[in-house]
Amino acid sequence: MKLGVIGCGKMGSALVEGAIRAGAIAAADVTGCDSHPATAQAFAETSGASVVPAIADLGADTYLLCTKPQHAAAALEALPAGDALLISIAAGLTSKWLEARVPAGVRVIRCMPNTPALVGKGAAAFCRGLAATAADADSARLLLGSVGIAVELPESLMDAVTGLSGSGPAFVYVMIEAMADGGVRAGLPRAEALQLAAQTVLGSATMVLETGHHPGLLKDMVTSPGGTTIAGLAALEKGAVRSHFIEAVHAAARRAAELGAS
């Protein structure tokens, strides 16, 4: 794979650096291009990849589109025609929209990563455009999976992915902040409360992923009759916290659909 990175900001850099660390691609096979020379230079320094001033000079067989959505059309116009794959992480841009703008011969895969990819713990989903092949899906899975997990889903579910894993980190940060506030209220120093809250969320998520147990079962394992945990769970249920989390994901998914239609 000869990878051309269009937009060398934080997310593009995270994906490329993760793929290089994982051995999925060699730095010598990566070339980046960014409209901001300082950003391109920082990308080259941190990843070991080379950079070029123009998209037409990338010389790639696989392109990773990491621009802001409003800059995507101009970037796609600069792509050369020919047998190549475009993997787009530009938010809200459908495969149909992308396919209408790429040159002849370029196949499309649309992805929705999330910001924890910046620390190698991302949760991403992707879908194939009409001409994309199984080998193309493997390429997307390789790149996205190098910084977390990557699942292939129908494009009809991408708005739901945006609501859950795309927006979800913000919901979790609110939860961590609130748990830390609760610790402070109970007498803990702020720094230690935040550290304990964040590590508790990290450990609990790891338990779900590594044991394969349903979260309800893991919850029950912590909950003793008449104990502290059930008292706290009762307070959460009184505040309808679970239904609010459900509605938060649903509201974010609805908004994603609105933005995609605009």
Which tens digit of pLDDT belongs to each residue from 125-181?
A: 999 999 999 999 999 999 999 999 999 999 999 999 999 999 999 999 999 999 999
Q: What is the pLDDT of residue 259?
A: 80
Inter-residue contact 150 to 140 (CB < 8 Å): yes
Q: In Å, what is the CA distance from 11 to each residue of 68, 147, 170?
A: 11, 10, 16
Sheet holding 106-112, edge to edge: 50-51, 30-33, 3-6, 62-65, 84-88, 106-112, 122-128, 148-152
Percent of the chain scoring above 70 in pLDDT: 100
Q: Tell me, yes or no, if the pTM score tops 0.85.
A: yes
Average pLDDT, the chain: 94
Q: At what angle do helices 190-211 and 215-222 cross, to 10 degrees?
A: 130
Q: What is the pLDDT of residue 258?
A: 86
DSSP 225: T
DSSP 164: I
Domains and CATH numbers, the chain: 3-157 (3.40.50.720), 166-261 (1.10.3730.10)
Which tens digit of pLDDT belongs to each residue from 194-215?
A: 999 999 999 999 999 999 999 9
- Sorting pLDDT into bands at 50, 70 and 90, what band is 22? confident
